[in-house]
Structure 1
Amino acid sequence: MRESDLTLLVTAARKAGTIATGYFGKSPQVTDKPGGAGPVTEADLAVDLMLADFLRDKRPDYGWLSEESQDGPARLSTARQFVIDPIDGTRAFIGGTKDWSHSLAIVENGAVVAAAVYLPLHDLMFTAAAGMGAQANDQTINVSRSAIDQARVLASKPNFAPALWKGATLPPFQQAFRSSLAYRLCLVAQGRFDAMLTLRPSWEWDIAAGALIVAEARGTVTDARGLPLMFNNAHPQVPGVIAAGNDLHADISARLEPARANH
């Protein structure tokens, strides 16, 4: 019997963790991607190579989109696609902190149907399958229901610039940050933080898995304009992300300037 897509992603994520932790803290080789796209380590590339071999061998008919693989049009004609970030939070990985993750998703008809986000140094596995709820280490998780004046919001500093908010007034929430976008989404799904937002264009591999996990944890996750997220785009970016419980999501969206999507 063929294993489920979610089981496959979990197995692959654990394999990725074994490889990445073998490099962690040992000064892995680092190079800078062209065009200021950020650093990449030999660990990112080793994980990507393993995942491509392992997952594509198991599902040869699935398309492939990974941060560390060359993209092409072939995936656009497939029924399902892997959307992978071998190491999300590479700067945290290089810096020796623990908050980096492996983000693995499967997309069908533009929507994520299975997802796993694994933080090996926390031994923390977030999972979700469409219609089946979200879990952290096999325990059901749900978003919080905090109001905006009590909310803890994960975002990088540029997202808190007053000019992005109506009346140039930042809402009365607490600000926090984690390096990995996938982990930020999962922390919201887990209810440890109340919302996350990024108002800049976001690569699909950073957010696909976490977006399903938030949605299955009874949260709302949209692009920065409040529209549904769609994946497997020809150019694999979406215009930002807002994720929170339903009421808080609506409140945050209402307080943002309409032009924030292109920040």
Structure 2
Amino acid sequence: MPGTDLSLLVDAALEAGKIASRYSGKEAKRWEKPDGAGPVTEADLAVNEMLEDTLPAARPDYGWLSEETEDSTDRLDRSRVFVIDPIDGTRSFAEGSRTWAHSLAICENGVTTAAVVYLPQRDMLFAAATGQGATLNGDLITVTDTANLTEAQVLAAKPNLNSTHWRGGQVPDFGRAYRPSLAYRMALVAQGRFNGMLTLRPSWEWDIAAGDLIIREAGGQCTDRFGAPLRFNNPQPKLSGVVAGGQLLHTKLSAALNPDSSGIPGH
């Protein structure tokens, strides 16, 4: 089933790329969501409409969770569920950048079994299915690992370097880079271009469900900030951040983090 599901997601992602690419980011109509939830554009909504029409029709017994669809508790009664971000990196899209992605996943009993992260403007399609490895444009990819934090290249937003996040206030001296799309950051780790990534704030499931499987199938490890495996289709679809990378680096990063989240900014 994961292989068949993956073909379904790949086809849907390619169609999503065609739809989104018809819009010029800076000219696309844009609105701000309530409660500071960030922007949404007409491209997000057009992609979401296509996906919501297409995917559940192909798998009518699967549940549905998408950033751009009002959530329903119906999904909680389904063993399999689509977890979708029509456009991850909407701010980037609206600014006219190419660094945004479609993030599509299928999860079974809380675990991602098929996943696609597609960047149409960069012609990069990352994909994975359980037990089948991870690919970029059809070629197998694998993580690059290091046990030395000072040699590691890690994707992380600057607030993650606040000393309160780290054990004893000691921030590791790793190389830091950043990409606007969380799904893309995870895919880049799977590709081996960066050794790891982390985000220490609560994270929406649709941003990370696809990247989780792609990293694991590329030989890496992906957990929340406290070292617990990621589980999806929760009543509140938010998880306690993400720490990901090769096995050795993941161990080092996790050990360096402050295990007590109380009083940590943004947590």
TM class, shorter-length: over 0.9
Deviations, residues 169-192 of structure 1 (Å, cap 9, x unaligned) = 211111110000000000000000
The answer for the alignment partner of 2:232 in structure 1 is 231
1:178 and 2:218 matched: no
1:83 and 2:47 matched: no
The answer for the alignment partner of 1:14 in structure 2 is 14
In structure 2, what is the Cα distance between the partners aligned to 1:220 and 1:26? 37
Structure 1: give runs of 5+ residues left out of the alignment: none
**Counterparts of residues 45-56 of structure 1 (less than 5 Å):** 45-56=45-56
In structure 2, what is the Cα distance between the partners aligned to 1:42 and 1:28? 6
**Counterparts of residues 182-197 of structure 1 (less than 5 Å):** 182-197=183-198
Indicate the SS of the match to 2:214: helix
| Equivalent residues of 2:26, 2:96 under 8 A apart | no
Indicate the SS of the match to 2:68: coil
| Equivalent residues of 1:199, 1:260 under 8 A apart | no
**Over 4 Å off, 4+ runs:** none
In structure 2, what is the Cα distance between the partners aligned to 1:157 and 1:56? 38
Percent identical pairs in the alignment equals 57
In structure 1, what is the Cα distance between the partners aligned to 2:260 and 2:179? 25
Structure 2: give runs of 5+ residues left out of the alignment: none
In structure 1, what is the Cα distance between the partners aligned to 2:261 and 2:45? 34
Indicate the SS of the match to 2:145: coil
Indicate the SS of the match to 1:258: coil
| Equivalent residues of 2:26, 2:94 under 8 A apart | no
In structure 1, what is the Cα distance between the partners aligned to 2:161 and 2:21? 33
In structure 1, what is the Cα distance between the partners aligned to 2:25 and 2:71? 30
The structural deviation recorded for 1:258 is 0.9
The structural deviation recorded for 1:167 is 2.5
Q: Return the letter of the residue paired with 1:169.
A: Q
Count the aligned residue pairs: 261
TM-score normalized with structure 1 length: 0.97
Indicate the SS of the match to 1:4: helix
Indicate the SS of the match to 2:122: coil
In structure 2, what is the Cα distance between the partners aligned to 1:162 and 1:27? 40
| Equivalent residues of 1:224, 1:260 under 8 A apart | no
Indicate the SS of the match to 1:243: strand
TM-score normalized with structure 2 length: 0.95
Q: Return the letter of the residue paired with 2:115.
A: A
In structure 2, what is the Cα distance between the partners aligned to 1:113 and 1:167? 37
Change (3 A) 1:260 1:246: farther
The answer for the alignment partner of 1:68 in structure 2 is 68
Indicate the SS of the match to 1:232: coil
In structure 2, what is the Cα distance between the partners aligned to 1:259 and 1:28? 42
Please provide the CA RMSD for this pair.
1.2
**Higher mean displacement: 144-153 or 75-84:** 144-153
Q: Return the letter of the residue paired with 1:182.
A: A
Indicate the SS of the match to 1:23: coil
Q: Return the letter of the residue paired with 1:33.
A: K
The structural deviation recorded for 1:26 is 5.1
